[in-house]
């Protein structure tokens, strides 16, 4: 059975923390591939300031050199609020012989019991939780835990540094940095 990890997010922009999460989850859980899935409108955040085509292109660039990293645009194509249960229902129908694992950070593990139709979702996927500093684990839902190096980087921090003209070298892939600068995505300093 083909084992697929799903890493969802706004990816505004994708950063090294996303790539490290995906690689450690892939390796530790024996996943065949990890699919990066940019959300259209995540239910737990405000709508992204960066247009979906730009976020999709950044994810493509961030993952292009890893043979087991793929990009899945299903939520961008579908549009609307990106509820994981709806996305996974679609993917299970499209790929009935695949086993799916949903990769989440410690910040999301804490809120997992509140996710839309979580009981249904638990039947469709296994959850892989990776640690993020400062968050408590919630053990009310079965989760495979993967230990990763502590990398405290976020898309919010990257955007903030770019807006204020500070370096983001080593925080995001060079290909993503080039795209941001070419398209001036985060202000004049990008």
Query: Do the domain assignments include residue 187?
Result: no
132 is in which domain, residue-wise? Answer: 2-152
DSSP code of residue 113: G
Query: Do the domain assignments include residue 168?
Result: no
Confidence of residue 6 (pLDDT cuts 50, 70, 90): very high
Q: Which pTM was predicted?
A: 0.92
* Residue-wise pLDDT tens digits, 68-81: 999 999 999 988 78
Query: Do the domain assignments include residue 183?
Result: no
Number of structural domains found in the chain? 1
Across residues 46-61, what is the average pLDDT?
89
Query: Do the domain assignments include residue 186?
Result: no
Q: Which residues contact 100 (CB under 8 A, 6 or more apart)?
A: 4, 5, 6, 88, 91, 92, 124, 125, 126
63 close to 79: Cβ distance less than 8 angstroms: no
Using H for helix, E for strand and C for coil, what is the string for 119-135?
HHHHHHEEEEEECCCCC
Specify the CATH number for the domain of residue 47.
3.40.50.620
Query: Do the domain assignments include residue 190?
Result: no
User: Is residue 189 over pLDDT 70?
Assistant: no
Query: Do the domain assignments include residue 180?
Result: no
**Ranked by mean pLDDT, which of 11-15, 48-52, 185-189 comes out on top?**
11-15
User: Is residue 128 over pLDDT 80?
Assistant: yes
Residue among 69, 76, 72, 86 nearest 39 (CA) = 76
Query: Do the domain assignments include residue 66?
Result: yes
Residue among 126, 107, 130 nearest 23 (CA) = 130
More confident residue, 28 or 46: 28
* Residue-wise pLDDT tens digits, 19-33: 999 999 999 999 999
């Amino acid at each position: 059975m083909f084992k697929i990890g799903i890493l969802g997010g706004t990816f505004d922009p994708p950063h090294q923390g996303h790539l490290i999460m995906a690689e450690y989850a892939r390796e530790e859980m024996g996943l065949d591939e990890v699919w990066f899935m940019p959300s259209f409108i995540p239910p737990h955040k405000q709508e992204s300031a960066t247009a979906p085509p730009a976020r999709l292109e950044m994810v493509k660039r961030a993952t292009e050199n890893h043979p087991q990293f793929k990009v899945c645009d299903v939520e961008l194509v579908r549009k609307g609020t990106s509820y994981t249960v709806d996305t996974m229902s679609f993917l299970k129908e499209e790929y009935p012989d695949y086993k799916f694992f949903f990769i989440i950070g410690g910040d999301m593990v804490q809120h997992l019991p509140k996710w839309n139709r979580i009981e249904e979702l638990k039947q469709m996927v296994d959850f892989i939780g990776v640690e993020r500093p400062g968050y408590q684990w919630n053990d009310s839902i079965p989760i495979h835990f993967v230990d990763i190096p502590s990398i405290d980087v976020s898309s919010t921090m990257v955007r903030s540094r770019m807006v204020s003209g500070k370096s983001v070298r080593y925080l995001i892939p060079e290909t993503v940095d080039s795209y941001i600068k070419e398209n001036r995505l985060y202000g004049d300093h990008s």
